[in-house]
Amino acid sequence: MRYRMRMFVLVYVLVFAGMMLFWWGPSKLHYGMYSTLQQGHSLRTVSIVRDVQAAGVAIDDPAYGYDNYTSNFWNHSTAFCDGRFIGYSRLLAILRNVVLDFKFARGQKGGENISDVINQPEEEEFYKYLPGFFKLPCKEPIEYNFIGDSHHLNSWIENALETDGKVFSREAGIYIDWTIAITRYEYANLYHTMTDYYNAFLMLKMFRLNSKDVTILIIDGHPSGGLDATWRYLFGKVKRVSDFRKPTLFKNMIWSMAGYESPLDDHFLPNVPYIEEFREFFLFHYDVSSSYKLNCKRLNILLIWRHDYLAHPRNPSGKVSRKINNEFELLSKMQETFRTHNVRGIQIDKYPMKKQLQMIAKTDILIGMHGAGLSHTLFLPKHSGLLEMFSMYYTAENRHFRAMAGWRGLHYRNWENMDYEREVMEESTNVDEAEVARLTVEISEQMCPKSS
């Protein structure tokens, strides 16, 4: 009987372990790495330390591996070519002394005016590669793959990277700055571009870099967009890969993780690393104060509208959905409810980014339909609140901004339309003004509780 019982327990443990391994396989590995609730880990082995040294990272810096997030990456690194290629957690990589040769790429140059490329197919804005686009001076094959939606990184490995062992010609260019290479998938959308900004910021943290000493290398052929200038505010230099017309050696190139693999895009994470530091980083580089204090006698309440605008070549009409059909009535109701406070309604994307941030950094309650503009939740004051509205055809199951508010500890409410008669051609919604006002009052009372 004891033998049978032991065998039963052993089988149970093995089955359970197998299920956990299936669930926490490579595709789930990064979830655990992003959780700041995990216990810290020490550096893995002496060989990994040597690999990192070869990549140019100063591990004698006492801050090296100083937190759970970066140490988890160090613990899951794989090196090739004597440390010239190191992959981390199948999400990103660093290449040392890699040569980039743009003649081995096919696609649009990028940076054109949208009006010149109207109706341009999106596939023309993503490069097709030939072996030799990237070259490493070694003969070892790079047998590495990236997880999830890291499509361009896997394409760089499979189609673009060549290890031929040849010595680089000194007649070509040499780029000594640290370089973060990115491919943008939804470059005109503030939310998805925010994941790229944030990922690049994480690379600064991981490799202990100063933004002014880093070049952002854009490896795509998208035309010029309204969010491009922000890269130049946040980082020292921004280059398009098409700017390099001759082979160029990059001393240290980071292949940043894909936007779709960003912690910001995993809405069920309990925490996200450096979220408040990212806010400070962003506001600092735009010279916007982050010291705004709550004044319960004069709240700043900002409603943001979604209006049509031309953002990319595939939507020449500029039509957008999820608009508020009764903007004037909603604004009037809010001003009536909050008579002694400052209540405004604006189309925020009409303003330059600096002006947007100046307004957001002094907003106590932000209100808007679910949409990319609510990415500004990341830059609200720490005491503030978000009221998110949803149409019937874009429900509250979309947790993008609820997650952001949760990570930052902000007050959050949402209103979701359940009445078809409030929808106008799946384009705009007549929101319930009274209910939105009531929910806003709830947020204000949480922020400013009345004394008993």
Domain spans of the chain?
80-265, 288-447
**Buried-exposed string 165-201: b where 16+ CB fall within 10 A, e elsewhere:** eeebeeeeeebebbbbbbbbbbbbbbbbbbbbbbbbb
| pLDDT attached to residue 426 | 78
Identify the CATH number of the domain defined by range 288-447: 3.40.50.360
195, 227 in Cβ contact below 8 A? no
| pLDDT attached to residue 42 | 25
- Whole-structure pTM value: 0.85
Q: Taking each helix axis as running N to C, give the angle between helix 68-75 and helix 26-34, from 0 to 180 degrees, rounded to the nearest 10.
A: 150
User: Considering just the CA atoms, what is the radius of gyration of the chain in Å?
Assistant: 25
Q: 3-state SS of the chain?
A: CHHHHHHHHHHHHHHHHHHHHHHCCHHHHHHHHHCCCCCCCCCCCHHHHHHHHHCCCCCCCCCCCCCHHHHHHHHCEEEEHHHCEEEECCCEEEEEEEEECHHHEECCCCCCCHHHCCCCCHHHHCCEECCCCEEECCCCCCCCCCCCCCHHHHHHHHHHEEECCCCCCCCCEEEEEEEEEECCCCCCCHHHHHHHHHHHHHHHHHCCCCHHHEEEEECCCCCCCCCHHHHHHHCCEEEEHHHCCCCEEEEEEEECCCHHHCHHHCCCCCCCCCHHHHHHHHHHHCCCCCCCCCCCCCCEEEEECCCCCCCCCCCCCCCCCCEECCHHHHHHHHHHHCCCCEEEEECHHHCCHHHHHHHHCCCCEEEEECCHHHHHHHHCCCCCEEEEEECCCCCCCCCHHHHHHHHHCCEEEEEECCCHHHEECCCEECCCHHHHHHHHHHHHHHHCCCCC
> 419 φ, ψ to 5°?
-120, 115
Q: How far apart are CA 281 and CA 214, in angstroms?
A: 15
439 Cβ contact list (under 8 Å, min separation 6): 387, 413, 414, 415
**Cα–Cα nearest to 379, from 230, 181, 250:** 230
Which parts of the chain sit beneath pLDDT 70? 1-71, 74, 167-172, 451-452
| pLDDT attached to residue 167 | 65
207, 74 in Cβ contact below 8 A? no
279 Cβ contact list (under 8 Å, min separation 6): 290, 378, 379, 408
96, 142 in Cβ contact below 8 A? no
Task: Note the residue count of the chain.
Answer: 452
